Chain A
């Protein structure tokens, strides 16, 4: 399979030179372009046509003056963001929280799907799958309420249990030591089951003969997972990791916003919550757009570089 790909690629690159082959290639792949067309059309129409709106990050935008009429302020909005007193703190919080989440959201669903795959009882397996993805459907508004009812220092379940055993009551949500862990753990809890779906789809495509061959070679379950399943789903894992870099500066606005308080600003205030508070104060769309653009730019740079690294290592990247 690998070999045949490489030959196609080789044939392809050797024939690029002349213009005639271009037309030949286009004609040869006319049906592929036909397949590409409708999707491309939607993207151009609904995503690129409104793209001019990005420039308002460089403006002091007024909706009634429009993009054309609003005053240009260059990089003022950006420098205001970077020069805000706590910029370092909120950037650090954002990156740390999202990195923890990224690491968890990449590794735990893989492990879970490998284990799920070992459940031989079909009904049990299906019921399990259908239940562990339930928390994904609980919105953060509700879920934060549940977290609070478990962790609050007065009648929270954790504290009630602790006090049964004579323990002291702890204000988990108001404690800088616990806050990030609460964010990360609750995020794992909520999204881990949902995250397994895609890997289960990938695992279902693995050739059953390979397992048989591995068994005959005397490989136990662990070795089968390591030597058969994981390599087979590696391309999907790589793509998902690259794509998840898009969220490198997205630490989860709703979740943080619903759970934080001034007591944990030092560890919990992130770019989005900060910009939100400023925005509420000023109704400043340009500022919010500038912050968004900054986040997207960082993510873009990361994705493109990691994609390059992946391809250099001989794996399939995004393109």
Chain B
């Protein structure tokens, strides 16, 4: 029997692993239990970053979960650019100048819903019960998920921008404009994601979380100015589209990347973000503490 930590030669089956491990050693255990000192509780930042580290480890161990931030955004860009490009703007390369920032916003907002699914899975598996018995800053697990998700959103943003550049997107705002646009989108997505932490805690199964997410995401992203200028829409729809948070974010990102300073839309985007954070953040923490 080996105690070597290098188990590279071991096949992954449960039986093989079980044969390798030893029986617990009561004396060693007793020695470990003697230490009764407890370190001071970690700061809010440390606990949140620790949960963020957990999210990174999960990406490392289950890399296929990156499918939704790589293949999905590529598909979105190519599909809409070639489907609508010729009809709406005469050519793909001229439509992509308008479409790309919008599709970026739409894709990221759609990807946010996986946060709720991840939380719901953790609850079902029982690991959440352990987190909830730890004496730490209560929102840390949620903030940790969202920090991990920011990394996923950044990956998706890079993928979308690269595909865009390949098929002819030329942002006039240059690198600074693009970075500013992405930064605003990250802030908005972080705040928006608290809707999903709430549903993840509230609903019973992964399936119902997905179902509700679709109901919210589809109207919110499609009924916006991502694909077309709302001027040709009926008045009642214009009223919705022009005031939708997704429209404000899409306009702000589009203008920032084009080298302008859309002050009003930035303010609207941040205002919506603050509202989402306060309302759904509070609802999430209430559910988390009450569950």
Is this pair of chains taken from one and the same complex?
no
Q: B residues touching A (Cβ–Cβ < 8 Å)? A: none
